[in-house]
């Protein structure tokens, strides 16, 4: 897979939080690995700023987000030569002439990245079209969340589809670019031993948990509108669920993979009415201690309404109605200001039907396969072994597989891989329109019920694992969240 060159990458929201924290560091790392061929990168922003000021701002952001070992001034010089800044208001058609003047109309590989609020996508795309900047080979990346419910997502999709064909549209979910997620696919579909176990006969339940120790940082304006459910659950957690639960695709090819993911979303048991109260927990953090520092409650964060009902935590129990997964609960959880930053997928196997050893606890000794996506990436399999010595005592042991073991190769950042794939026109790890619509369709009743009830999320102390109700969600099924492993 190669990037057709020369390319032009036009980044709307070019000085925004995402661009500075993730996109520019990812592009710089591609440069460092000599994977960026000849091409130009245009940061688009609304402030009138001098070129050198913008470059300094981007450099500062890049160097504060990449490891010290990768801060290479020669590489930065090469990278900076590709960068230009264009001051433009995405909603003002006239401004686009400034951009048009800088682009090469014969560029074979033009990629627009919309890293702004999705309510602006329709205007930006329409203005690109009016300025004749969308060639038949151009592509567009749409950052999540796309819309705030099914109706708005459909509306945005329709506006973008007026000017781009589906094959030109790359809906990004950066969790699909994480190394361990790819490894999960390899582990499932390149090994024979797992497939026979990967179903309701052998698996007790699955947990997918993304916890963050950070609060809302400087993104309160965005977060107040979105909340944890739209920010993380509707996209990242559902995508991870799809990869864990999907049937083996016929090929590692974009539509084959996406077809299987859509089938999982379509098979999700609808959660409506009383089920929402029973199986979906919302929380909001109150003051506490995070990473050793006292932190304020969510409602006291800058830019947050003092009566805000926005959830900073969600946990839910989900079921998939098909032969493979009938009766296997999937517990999903995500939140800000939790006890630690981590992301894990835990596949909990059933306990053995009968033990010939005196196991202390058959349940806690049951096999467990843990995919850890962050902060340290790796895979662990919990098995049982004999305790050395006389007698037949059994104890748990863990087999670990760590990407660092592979010749200490640098693990690429998720955005690095996905930006490369989009520039190289490979949409396998991006969402297709029907996937997105099915996901919104499934979550819509939950969001509508919350909006109607106007009830407040349950509070939890910052620095803990979330509200008590989330613990209870599993406890009432006789289970526990996998914590502190
Ligand atoms: C983003 C969310 O999509 O993912 C953020 O908007 C969240 O709120 C981030 O912090 C988490 O990503 P990662 O890769 O740091 O786990």
Question: Is the pLDDT at 411 greater than 80, yes or no?
Answer: yes
Residue 175 and residue 181 in contact, taking contact as beta carbons nearer than 8 Å: yes
Q: Would you name the residues annotated as active-site residues?
A: 236
Atom from ligand 1 closest to the CA of residue 144: 3
Is-contact 174 414, C-beta < 8 A?
yes
| Ligand 1 neighbour 413 (Cβ under 6 A) | no
DSSP state of 231: I
Closest residue (by CA) to atom 13 of ligand 1? 175
CA distance 482 to 485: 7
Q: Is the CB of 8 under 6 A from ligand 1?
A: no
CA of 187 to the centre of ligand 1 (A): 25
Cα(282) to centroid of ligand 1, in Å?
18
Q: Identify the burial level of 21 via C-beta atoms within 10 angstroms of its C-beta, where 0-12 means exposed, 13-18 middle and 19 or more buried.
A: middle
Q: What is the pTM of this model?
A: 0.94
pLDDT reading at 378 higher than 90 = no
**Is the model's pLDDT at 80 over the cut of 90?**
yes
CATH class of 176-231+268-413+457-475: alpha beta
Residue of the CA atom closest to atom 5 of ligand 1:
231
Say what the pLDDT of residue 407 is: 62
CB within 8 A of 411, min separation 6: which ones?
179, 377, 403, 404
* Whether 318 contacts 193, CB under 8 Å: no
Determine if ligand 1 sits within 6 Å of the CB of residue 231.
yes
pLDDT interval class at 406 (50, 70, 90): low
Mean pLDDT of all residues in 101-109: 93
| Ligand 1 neighbourhood includes 377 CB (under 6 angstroms) | no
Structure confidence at residue 376 (pLDDT): 85
231 C-alpha to center of ligand 1: Å?
8
Grouping H, G, I as helix, E, B as strand and the rest as coil, residue 364 is coil
pLDDT at 206 (0 to 100): 98
Distance 394 CA to ligand 1 centre (A): 40
Task: Give the mean model confidence (pLDDT) for residues 27-53.
Answer: 95
pLDDT of 298 > 90? The answer is: yes
CATH code of the domain made up of 7-143: 3.40.50.720
Q: Would you kindly state where each structural domain of the chain is located, as residue ranges? A: 7-143, 176-231+268-413+457-475
């Amino acid at each position: 897979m190669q990037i057709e060159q020369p390319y032009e990458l036009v980044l709307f929201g070019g000085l925004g939080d995402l661009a500075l924290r993730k996109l520019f560091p990812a592009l710089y790392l591609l440069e460092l690995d000599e994977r960026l061929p000849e091409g130009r990168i245009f940061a688009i922003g609304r402030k009138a700023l001098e070129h050198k000021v913008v470059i300094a701002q981007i450099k500062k952001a890049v160097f504060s987000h990449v490891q010290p070992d990768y801060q290479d001034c020669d590489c930065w010089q090469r990278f900076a030569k590709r960068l230009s800044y264009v001051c433009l208001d995405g909603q003002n058609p006239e401004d686009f002439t400034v951009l048009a003047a800088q682009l090469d109309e014969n560029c074979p590989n033009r990629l627009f990245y919309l890293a702004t609020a999705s309510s602006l996508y329709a205007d930006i795309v329409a203005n690109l079209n009016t300025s004749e900047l969308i060639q038949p080979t151009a592509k567009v990346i749409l950052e999540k969340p796309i819309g705030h419910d099914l109706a708005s997502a459909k509306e945005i999709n329709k506006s973008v589809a007026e000017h781009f064909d589906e094959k030109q549209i790359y809906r990004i979910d950066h969790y699909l670019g994480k190394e361990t997620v790819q490894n999960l696919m390899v582990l499932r579909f390149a090994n024979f031993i797992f497939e026979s176990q990967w179903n309701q006969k052998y698996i007790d339940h699955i947990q997918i948990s993304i916890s963050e120790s950070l609060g809302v940082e400087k993104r309160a304006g965005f977060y107040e509108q979105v909340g944890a459910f739209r920010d993380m659950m509707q996209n990242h957690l559902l995508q991870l669920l799809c990869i864990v639960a999907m049937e083996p695709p016929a090929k590692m090819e974009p539509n084959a993979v996406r077809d299987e993911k859509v089938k999982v979303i379509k098979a999700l048991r609808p959660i409506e009415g009383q089920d929402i109260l029973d199986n979906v927990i919302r929380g909001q953090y109150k003051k506490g201690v995070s990473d050793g520092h006292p932190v304020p409650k969510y409602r006291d964060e800058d830019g947050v309404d003092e009566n805000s009902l926005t959830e900073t935590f969600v946990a839910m129990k989900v079921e998939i109605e098909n032969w493979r997964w009938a009766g296997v609960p999937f517990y999903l959880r995500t939140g800000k200001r939790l006890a630690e930053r981590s992301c894990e997928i835990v596949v909990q196997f059933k306990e053995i039907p009968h033990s010939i050893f005196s196991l202390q606890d058959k349940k806690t000794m049951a096999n467990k396969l843990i995919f850890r996506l962050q902060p340290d990436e790796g895979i662990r399999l919990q098995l049982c072994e004999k305790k050395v010595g006389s007698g037949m005592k059994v104890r748990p042991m863990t087999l670990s597989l760590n990407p660092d073991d592979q010749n200490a190769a640098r693990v690429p950042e998720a955005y690095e891989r996905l930006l490369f794939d989009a520039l190289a026109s490979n949409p396998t790890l991006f969402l297709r329109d029907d996937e997105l619509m099915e996901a919104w369709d499934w979550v819509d009743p939950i969001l509508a019920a919350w909006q109607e009830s106007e009830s407040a999320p349950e509070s939890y102390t910052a620095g803990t694992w979330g509200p008590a109700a989330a613990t209870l969600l599993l406890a009432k099924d006789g289970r526990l969240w996998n914590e502190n492993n």
